[in-house]
Amino acid sequence: MTVRRLIGAASAVGALTAASLLGITGLASAQEDDGGKKEWFTLSASGSGDEEVPEGSGEEGTDLTASISLTEDGDMTYTITVSGNSETISAAHIHKGKEGENGDVVVELDAEAVDEGKAAEVELEPDLAKRIIENPENWYINTHSESFQPPSGVARAQLKSAEKEEKPDIIDTGDGGQFAASQAGPNSGAVAAGALLIASAAGGAIAFRRRSGTDNA
């Protein structure tokens, strides 16, 4: 009876220790997330070759759509898709300029990601990020190819209003699409540590039982 109680106690201690570790690790992660949470703003853009300046200088029949998430610190994720173009997108930028105006490049974008319609990231100066968030209509996206060089381009689109949101987890789906993961899974390191502690406790209990059995024989 004493041996069984000791084995049960050892197993319980192992399980409680593992559970405590998992709980502490989860709490630390939650506190870190809460302490470092940033405000993300979403911007969108929708345009075409017809919006290039001067009029008629873009590629006919092309369309451009964009989805951007941006913080005031300058963290930016984006997915930009161009369709109807006859040539590979060789360059893409965010420019300063209102509708109908050409302006200077302020952000260089990943041309390959734009050409494939995949998600990408870039860092902006905080001052620039704040200005874009406050007045997105004063900025536009322009895309270029071999035959459509600056200041004109393949297709252009003005940025539109920003809204606060939680940062989405950007996951490529292979065709340029993306979605936000609604739930986060458990911390893999904590799960592994907990499993190791449980296994160790169980092993110790088995060894104790074997030794006790030998002593009693």
DSSP strands (E only) in the chain: 40-48, 63-71, 75-83, 91-96, 105-108, 119-123, 139-144, 155-158, 163-165
Query: Which comes out higher in pLDDT, residue 26 or 144?
Result: 144
CATH level 2 (architecture), domain 40-165 = Sandwich (2.60)
Residue 102, pLDDT above cutoff 80: yes
Give CA torsion, residues 108, 113, 118, 123, to 10 deg: -30
The reported pTM is: 0.61
Q: Percent of the chain having pLDDT more than 70?
A: 58
**pLDDT attached to residue 29:** 31
**pLDDT attached to residue 200:** 47
Q: What is the mean pLDDT of residues 115-141?
A: 97
Ranges 15-19, 56-60, 162-166: which has the least confidence: 15-19
Condensed to tens digits (0 to 9), the pLDDT of residues 188-197 reads 444 444 444 4
Computed on alpha carbons and rounded to an integer, the radius of gyration of the chain in Å comes to 28
Q: Where are the alpha helices (DSSP H) in 67-180?
A: 111-116, 126-134
Question: Cα angle at 155 between 94 and 108, to 5 degrees?
Answer: 25
Q: Percent of the chain having pLDDT more than 90?
A: 56
Residue 124, pLDDT above cutoff 50: yes
Ranges 52-66, 136-150, 154-168: which has the least confidence: 154-168
Residue 201, pLDDT above cutoff 70: no
Q: Tell which residue, 79, 73, 52, 33, has the closest CA to residue 151.
A: 52
**pLDDT attached to residue 209:** 45
Query: Which comes out higher in pLDDT, residue 37 or 20?
Result: 37
**pLDDT attached to residue 33:** 38
Q: What is the mean pLDDT of the chain?
A: 74
**pLDDT attached to residue 14:** 45
Q: How far apart are CA 80 and CA 120, in angstroms?
A: 9
